[in-house]
Amino acid sequence: MSVSDQKKKQIVEAAIAEFQEKGYAGASMDRISERAQVSKRTVYNHFESKDVLFKEINQCLADQINSALEVAYDPAAPIRDALVRLGWAEGELMINPCFMSLARMVMSETIRDPALAADMDSRMTKISVFTEFMDRATREGKLTADDPSLAATQFLGLIKARSFYPNIHSGRVTTRPEMERIIEESVDMFLARYGARATAQTMAAQ
């Protein structure tokens, strides 16, 4: 890593700490430079404004999410195993203290600023990854999701309802054993609704 890249990393890390402590409105570029142990001029050489710096942090969060979701669909895998693996793409983020801390900071600001929320949403591709999974599994007869986008949203919701939203303001992070149980139970519930066998049994009973 070059000296310039190292300083940029220090600035971003210092900015995350500053935004967490003071919020966007109360954050100071002067204090960020002090936290990063670089000159204020160095901060502005990398980031021309506080807004640009905050958007860089948003991008860091989006990059973590998008990187975690580089999950290749395996047509040979049993659908339950494939769904568990997909669930862990989200679950690994939920059990990562650094990710959760960053998510808390960003969410606290996006709630107050719809434009920031829209910008953050546009940087994330995860729902498209989950939708593509549901669509392909349905086309192969492994799921029966007439609306793959809705199914993807519901699958994510099952996981986040127990691992993300309860913890986002509490400071707590879901443990790996807890996440394992959440994912297993979420997959079983999802398959009870969208599994090909479950749908066939429902149709036979009608």
CA 149 → CA 15, 126, 127, 134, 167, distances in Å? 35, 11, 8, 8, 26
Q: Where are the domains of the chain?
A: 1-48, 55-205
How would residue 171 be classed by pLDDT, with cut points 50, 70 and 90? Answer: confident
Q: What are 146-168's pLDDT values in tens digits? A: 999 999 999 999 999 999 989 98
**Predicted local distance difference test score (pLDDT) of residue 205:** 42
Is there a shared CATH topology between the 1-48 domain and the 55-205 domain? no
> What's the mean pLDDT in 168-175?
87
Domain 1-48 -> CATH class: mainly alpha
Instruction: Kindly report each contact of residues 178-185 with a partner whose C-beta sits within 8 Å and lies 24 or more positions away, as own/partner.
Output: 179/88, 179/91, 179/94, 179/95, 180/91, 182/91, 183/84, 183/87, 183/88, 183/91, 183/159, 184/84
**Tens-digit pLDDT profile for residues 60-109:** 777 777 676 777 778 899 999 999 999 998 898 899 887 887 788 777 77
pLDDT at 202: 43
- Domain 55-205, what architecture? Orthogonal Bundle (1.10)
